[in-house]
Copies of this chain bind each other. A is one copy, B any other.
């Protein structure tokens, strides 16, 4: 019953703002979600949310190896999550999309929801 009630609420909501996504859209969305599905990349984003940083600074901030930092930054760049700017020998990266923070925040709120959910599961 609980499910049914929630479900009807959700159904009603989706009828008002309808979600019309093609399969191709979903593939793209999945690809983008996948770029955020790695704690290494989230660490980089967390650091960059504080301030823009060069690769060297990011290596220090995250403790990751240089190659991995560059590779993951490349992935985030492909997704348009970050932007890069060369400064002499250095390359400075910065968050380029304000939705990044929102996305992470939403997921964090979901972590609590999941925790609550698991409590319920056990009970």
Contact = CB atoms under 8 A, between A and B. Distances in A.
Q: Copy number in this complex?
A: 2
Contact of A114 (B15, B51, B80): B80
Interface of A: 1-4, 6-8, 10-11, 13-15, 17, 19, 21, 23, 25-34, 36-39, 42-43, 46, 48-52, 79-80, 83-85, 92, 94-99, 101-111, 113-114, 116-118
A26 to B, nearest CB: 4
A70 B39 CA distance: 27
Nearest to A83: B3
A105 to B, nearest CB: 8
A10, A34, A46, A51 pick with most chain B CB within 10 angstroms: A10
B32 A19 contact: no
A34 B41 CA distance: 12
B111 A28 contact: yes
Given A10-B95, A33-B36, A85 B23 contact: no
Given A3-B83, A3-B85, A26 B43 contact: yes
The 4 closest A-B pairs by CB, nearest first: A7-B94, A7-B52, A34-B37, A3-B85
